[in-house]
Structure 1
Amino acid sequence: GVFARDLRECLYLQLKERNRCDPAMIALLDHLDLLARRDLAALRRVCGVDDEDLRDMISEIRALTPRPGIAFGGEPLSPVTPDVIVREGPGGLWNVELNSDTLPRLLVDRRYFARVAAGARTEAEKIFVADCYSQANWLVRCLDQRARTILKVASEVVRQQDGFLAFGVSHLRPLNLRTIADAIGMHESTVSRVTSNKYISTPRGVFELKFFFTAAIAATHGGEAHSAESVRHRIRQLIEAERPGHDVHSDDRIVEILKDSGVDIARRTVAKYREAMRIPSSTERRRLMAVAG
């Protein structure tokens, strides 16, 4: 958007527009690698400023954008249209229904078929018309069967994940395709195909059906297994609850906390989940808190 050749120049042009390119800020732009590592001591030395000035400069940098052109264009985001809708019914039950807006609308016009068939003269024409009619009916039956299969799979997923709908992510159960396939008497590949790129609207938001299929994390003392997604949610909660001036949880400490709550998990798994959620390490989080001051 501003024809910058790299990130430094992009930030520089925005600061220049604001008349904020003093020598200290230029020095900061020349050492963005130190800012990425949160090495505040080194930044203070190269910029020649104190802690308060450095915090103000970093705040100014954060107020900039690496993609300034986005403010002047771009395609509008299209909302996801759910294929299945779940609503809470009486007695704590869940009503599961297909979203009619997403279903293909296909009907066979039998009166038109009768008119065309009546006009067929040769045997070849009669066979051709009959074959077209048969294929059209076959397609209608296939679409109907597809809709029934989607509803059947979604209903079983809702039954299996009732705790999530009622209480949230922390109650998400471990679930795999085979469990659903066995419960509804279908092949595992059919369930996989039906749940791909399908979305379900629930009182807790719109989710891809694949979201509800999550690996199991063993429980301590032989208890019921936990879903990987609920464990990731718990890790995120622990880290989001951290405050400046208090202990920042290391991966080892998170392992201890989770084991105390009944989750048997390895440190490398915690690190993998944390990195997948793009959460910095405890060392980097301490530096971020110091910058935020």
Structure 2
Amino acid sequence: MALTPKLQLRQSQSLVMTPQLMQAIKLLQLSSLDLAAYVDRELEQNPLLELHDGQQAAPEASGASSAEREADESWGDAVEPESRSSIEARLDTDFGNVFPDDAPQSAERPTLPATPEPGDWSGLGAGGAYSGEGADLEAYVAERTTLADHLERQLALTVTDPTERLIGAHLIDLVDPAGYLREPLETVAERLAAPLPAVERVLAVIQTFEPTGVGARSLQECLALQLRERDRFDPAMQALVENLELAARRDYAALRRLCGVDDEDLLDMLAEIRRLDPKPGHMFGAEIVQPVVPDVIVRAAPDGSWIVELVADSLPRVLVNQSYYAKVVKIAKNEVEKTFLTECLQTANWLTRSLEQRARTILKVATEIVRQQDGFLTRGVAHLRPLNLRMIADAIGMHESTVSRVTANKYIATPRGVFELKYFFTAAIANAEGGEAHSAEAVRHRIKLMIDAESPDDVLSDDTIVKRLHDSGVEIARRTVAKYRESLRIPSSVQRRREKKAAAESV
């Protein structure tokens, strides 16, 4: 068979990942905070982009009429010397300095700052005086004291030896936000080329600082430091602190035997342990918790349906300044400048289109999720339906990967709270009677309700929960019940029985 070259003409479709398409995909999976940061970077790099905030600039002070300015400048001459003398005579006083410790008044009239426009309070200084320029609000914000700063101040007042101060400063740097020293002292001594007894001695000094318990190397040491300060670290309490794992398992019989106390004393000791702070460093320099800003909001309509809207604050509005481009491109000196301006215009147009497409896609996916989970919004988590990405993708005509990017790091505000969009995608658990499947989240909620309603004399085991769920039509295995119970941080039936018994005895 002879091999000869041939020409063939074919037609095919393929997806080309252009930079613009990659940008649109990237924007789709960003959260609202990451999107705002990305837009800020683009605004800095692209001179044709503008952030539209929907507000108009306040009129400048120079726009005031000349008559108003003349009236403001001459207000100090409104009181004549004769009228001033008559007022002083009537009131039996003068307009001089009434506080002898203050500086005497100047004979010259002070120069007054320009009067601000109505509604413009940006130049107010301390005491409400107008300073003539915008006030820096960050200058009035109190600095947050961190744990390291608090410990360093105490170290400077307590330790005078320069070598020990150096060791103490290094140990303070190693203390984590919870107040614990996680690194072994041997490693610290080797790094600093210092004797281990000197490092231990400095650590003992740091452990006397406030807050009590800081610098501890374990939970037991942290609690022991706090108990020593209260003068409550007796042998019985020491035995309790050394066997905290038994207290976590509610094995009170073993604790009574180790501590050598009766039931009443053991309950008092456990109550005192609970009053201690296991993480003393968290009271200093704790990070500010940022509230979740929802991307979508759902509210009930008068006809019983649901209205799904995008939150405007989470969507930055970016505009392309076409007039500025037309003005600048005319004065471009060479092809390099024209090429730069053309690329900026293309990038700006693609960014605006990508943001609009992102908003439409999020709204489309959220609307379908609300339609699928109408039972949850109306009657609660027990009526949450099993849902997966394919069901949403088939309903709205999109790919599963697109739905996955949309639901990542996006939140929806509903009448039942704020949830991540991925919360509504749960696995399906078969129905024992062959009916509609149950949502895994709904089954987890049902397990929690069962355990919350159990009595101290009838604590439900995992097998009992499986039987009750099977009787109600939920086909579930025992290991699945145990997994759901552990995800809810609910102890086993043995531990719950001990805890409820101890609570009943304490009452």
TM-score band (shorter)? over 0.9
After superposition, where does 1:1-293 map in structure 2 within 5 Å? 1=179, 2-120=214-332, 122=334, 125-244=337-456, 246-293=457-504
Q: CA deviation at 1:176?
A: 0.2
Q: CA deviation at 1:43?
A: 0.8
Equivalent position amino acid for 1:290 in 2 = K
Q: 2:219, 2:336 → 1: CA distance?
A: 70
Q: CA deviation at 1:122?
A: 4.8
Q: Pick the structure with greater CA Rg.
A: 2
Q: CA deviation at 1:257?
A: 1.1
Q: CA deviation at 1:72?
A: 2.9
Q: 1:277, 1:96 → 2: CA distance?
A: 31
Residues 98-107 or 148-157, more deviating: 98-107
Q: CA deviation at 1:16?
A: 2.2
| Residue deviations 1:49-94 (CA, integer Å, cap 9, x gap) | 1112212211221222320121233111111111111111111111
Residues 2-11 or 24-33, more deviating: 24-33
Q: 2:442, 2:368 → 1: CA distance?
A: 20
- Structure with the largest fraction of helix: 1
Q: CA deviation at 1:123?
A: 5.3
| Pair 1:223–1:15, CA change in 2 (3 A) | same
Contact map agreement 1:55 1:292 (CA 8 A) in 2: no
Q: 2:366, 2:479 → 1: CA distance?
A: 34
Q: Aligned with 2:318: secondary structure?
A: coil
Q: What is the match of residue 24 of structure 2?
A: none
| Pair 1:112–1:260, CA change in 2 (3 A) | same
| Pair 1:122–1:90, CA change in 2 (3 A) | same
| Residue deviations 1:87-114 (CA, integer Å, cap 9, x gap) | 1111111111111111122110111111
| Residue deviations 1:227-281 (CA, integer Å, cap 9, x gap) | 000111111111122232x211100000111111111111111011111222111
Q: 1:194, 1:78 → 2: CA distance?
A: 22
Equivalent position amino acid for 2:405 in 1 = R
Give the alignment's TM-score, normalised by structure 2: 0.56
Q: 1:189, 1:29 → 2: CA distance?
A: 52
Q: 1:35, 1:127 → 2: CA distance?
A: 72
Q: CA deviation at 1:140?
A: 0.6
Q: 1:134, 1:5 → 2: CA distance?
A: 58
Equivalent position amino acid for 1:227 in 2 = S
Q: 1:12, 1:123 → 2: CA distance?
A: 75
RMSD (Å) for aligned C-alpha atoms: 1.5
Q: 2:389, 2:287 → 1: CA distance?
A: 35
Q: Percent identity?
A: 68
Q: 2:220, 2:245 → 1: CA distance?
A: 10
Q: CA deviation at 1:128?
A: 4.1
Q: What is the match of residue 176 of structure 2?
A: none
| Residue deviations 1:190-225 (CA, integer Å, cap 9, x gap) | 000010000111111111000000000111111111
Q: CA deviation at 1:17?
A: 2.5
Q: 1:14, 1:81 → 2: CA distance?
A: 40
**Structure 2 unmatched runs, 5+:** 1-178, 180-213
| Pair 1:49–1:109, CA change in 2 (3 A) | same
Q: 2:239, 2:415 → 1: CA distance?
A: 51
Q: Aligned with 1:115: secondary structure?
A: helix
Q: 2:453, 2:402 → 1: CA distance?
A: 41
Equivalent position amino acid for 1:96 in 2 = V
Q: Aligned with 2:371: secondary structure?
A: helix
